[in-house]
Structure 1
């Protein structure tokens, strides 16, 4: 479990900074043998580290019942976005709750996000209360609130914790998947050319050159869709099975839009070829318009 208080975080942060998380995982394999699942103390909590694809797949797939998922004003969205940035930085800082530290600011961000979500919950409860027929809703928040009437339901604290987790989990996933896809396409020109050809065909079929990308065209991106799915291990960018990211379809939609305009208009050249692209951390590139 590492050192007292800080656990395994010092080694993790150093490996993360060096862009070599493989050395962090190799430490557990070397010291405790090839088990595939290890105990650790991360971000101030007892944690589990998994290093084998088959164990990851089992964890993703062994749950038969997994819930998936109105309007919020822009000011709230902006505040949530800003606080999520502080929360994200706090989770990557040393777990010392000292005023002025990233960890301390992250805890404040967590409390600020909780207040916003509490306000949203209260508003939603009023709306549900007005719906006397209590029609079945497929909105995840409504599902959780409706369980509060029975035994074993979610209280507000649990619901808020889940909402914060979803916000945090989706913070940089789209950017990371999109940038990873771009770098892999650049490394494999054959696949890039085929993906680009598909996007050019979509543009040619438009009745007017001034038309923008629409949802029907995105559904026609069969080749690009296969690139974004690599359903085979060890790549699970959005999870798999019952524990797949609830926003996976939205994330693929967003990445498809990004790649459409990238393939038609841009190329990238890696400035520091020695930097790894798995994922593209500290990978510097120049964008070229074509």
Structure 2
């Protein structure tokens, strides 16, 4: 009996020692090398060797309570606003307050892009997410001119509205549809037209399918084995590169032959641009920039459009108020006018509050990655040089001290719009603010305008569980039927 007890004690002791050693591996790898600076790190837990906090992150975001991941840090270490962790293979500091988020996003002297290597490999080494500041500034100025500012977007308003009207009408005749899937096809068609003057259905469908697979792997662990999200995403990137290369080759061929060209689009701009030394962009650079733009240009607007429609249907009082606003816009319209104008879109005061509230509640991009260029002291804590700073948007948008009852959908919380800088970050901030924010909001507004006037959506599975990675969406992609209910326009 004594021998058995002794064996149990030894086994327990061995297990305790092994656990202690494992828990200290990351300290030895990342913190011990910092010397005295390790004592000014934010509180936190770097998790298990090499894996770090990724299992707990994925477990939380694959559950019905994704915010339990960060809540665990707050409950263990207090509401300090900054926490050390090992995320996506890198020692990191998660920043969670408006002040710290704003500082990381806007201080280009102290921080640079710090996306995980796996994300860069999928989105592109030559895309904006890994591009140096000066090159990013130059190419952003060139490429965003066609989608930045409402005046520039007025050029596309007629095209967007025409496709929204035809799509809504088509969906009513399709019976049961995946609402999110159809909206994403619509927003992808719009961005293809703006950037590539292209409406080829086969090309669009091929690209959109590959983008879906790509996005599943962007925030997954880098496991390049069949069956895992990253492996599927890597294959999707190869297929996307092949399609984009054929588009670039065809465009170069047309330009060489001096064939009549359509209106200048982003592809033409990228083919023409030169740096101060007369160097033009390589095919790889052009393709990575286009791949990134086309992805960002339809994913966010597609998802937010679906969720805004969903929330309006769930809240009849907001639906009715938004509908009355749109009806009033139509009533004031001259009889000779056909379609929406930029002036009318600027009059959609309540509808834009609906859009802002949707972006807050959903928080399409849950985190942005930066890297400290040198040691940075914030709130009394140090972010060491080379460590990642993870800007955790969800913690800001769902902070009850900023937004009372934060998970409640309430557009009226924007009536006074007294929020401080850093408290609302749906498109990021600073020099790397998403250049397509005006385009996305205008697309959503045009869609909701026509939906509110003429349609209702009947969701087949109102209690369908929600998936949070890579983006928040119903697991059935909002399965339902679109019904025409009026002919007010």
TM-score (norm 1): 0.72
Displacement, 1:185? Answer: 4.1
Q: Bigger shift: 262-271 or 170-179? A: 262-271
| Pair member with larger Rg | 2
- Provide Cα deviations, 1:147-175, integer angstroms capped at 9, x if missing partner: 45639986544443343333333443123
Match of 1:134 in 2: none
Q: What is the SS of the residue equivalent to 2:232?
A: helix
Residues 6 and 96 of structure 1: CA distance in aligned 2, closer, same or farther (over 3 Å): farther
Match of 2:63 in 1: 18
- Provide Cα deviations, 1:48-69, integer angstroms capped at 9, x if missing partner: 6432222333344445945352
Inter-partner Cα distance in structure 1 for 2:232 and 2:91: 22
Q: Does 1:222 align with 2:349?
A: yes
Residues 148 and 115 of structure 1: CA distance in aligned 2, closer, same or farther (over 3 Å): farther
Q: Does 1:41 align with 2:231?
A: no
Q: What is the SS of the residue equivalent to 1:107?
A: helix
5 Å matches for 1:100-179? 100-123=227-250, 139=266, 142=269, 146-147=273-274, 150=277, 155-179=282-306
- Provide Cα deviations, 1:190-237, integer angstroms capped at 9, x if missing partner: 5443321111123334567xx974344434423323443567464433
Inter-partner Cα distance in structure 2 for 1:106 and 1:237: 25
Instruction: Report if aligned partners of 2:62, 2:467 keep a CA contact under 8 Å in 1.
Output: no
Q: Does 1:51 align with 2:241?
A: no
Structure 2 portions without partners, runs of 5+: 1-45, 109-132, 145-195, 259-263, 357-413
Inter-partner Cα distance in structure 1 for 2:288 and 2:91: 18
Structure 1 portions without partners, runs of 5+: 132-136
Instruction: Report if aligned partners of 1:218, 1:256 keep a CA contact under 8 Å in 2.
Output: yes
Instruction: Report if aligned partners of 1:25, 1:51 keep a CA contact under 8 Å in 2.
Output: no
Pairs aligned (count): 283
> Aligned Cα RMSD in Å?
4.4
Inter-partner Cα distance in structure 2 for 1:11 and 1:115: 36
Inter-partner Cα distance in structure 2 for 1:23 and 1:258: 34
Residues 222 and 172 of structure 1: CA distance in aligned 2, closer, same or farther (over 3 Å): same
Inter-partner Cα distance in structure 1 for 2:435 and 2:286: 15
Residues 282 and 235 of structure 1: CA distance in aligned 2, closer, same or farther (over 3 Å): farther
Instruction: Report if aligned partners of 1:6, 1:95 keep a CA contact under 8 Å in 2.
Output: no
Displacement, 1:106? Answer: 1.0
Q: Could you tell me which of 426, 447, 469 is aligned with 1:258?
A: 447
Q: What is the SS of the residue equivalent to 1:172?
A: helix
Q: Could you tell me which of 44, 54, 78 is aligned with 1:9?
A: 54
TM-score (norm 2): 0.46
Residues 221 and 246 of structure 1: CA distance in aligned 2, closer, same or farther (over 3 Å): same
Displacement, 1:19? Answer: 3.1
Residues 61 and 275 of structure 1: CA distance in aligned 2, closer, same or farther (over 3 Å): same
Inter-partner Cα distance in structure 1 for 2:466 and 2:214: 27
Q: Could you tell me which of 218, 221, 224 is aligned with 1:97?
A: 224
Instruction: Report if aligned partners of 1:148, 1:155 keep a CA contact under 8 Å in 2.
Output: no
Match of 2:325 in 1: 198
Instruction: Report if aligned partners of 1:87, 1:106 keep a CA contact under 8 Å in 2.
Output: yes
Instruction: Report if aligned partners of 1:40, 1:47 keep a CA contact under 8 Å in 2.
Output: yes
Inter-partner Cα distance in structure 1 for 2:75 and 2:280: 43
Q: What is the SS of the residue equivalent to 2:425?
A: coil
Q: Bigger shift: 76-85 or 111-120? A: 111-120
Instruction: Report if aligned partners of 1:19, 1:281 keep a CA contact under 8 Å in 2.
Output: no
Residues 141 and 79 of structure 1: CA distance in aligned 2, closer, same or farther (over 3 Å): same
Inter-partner Cα distance in structure 2 for 1:163 and 1:45: 28
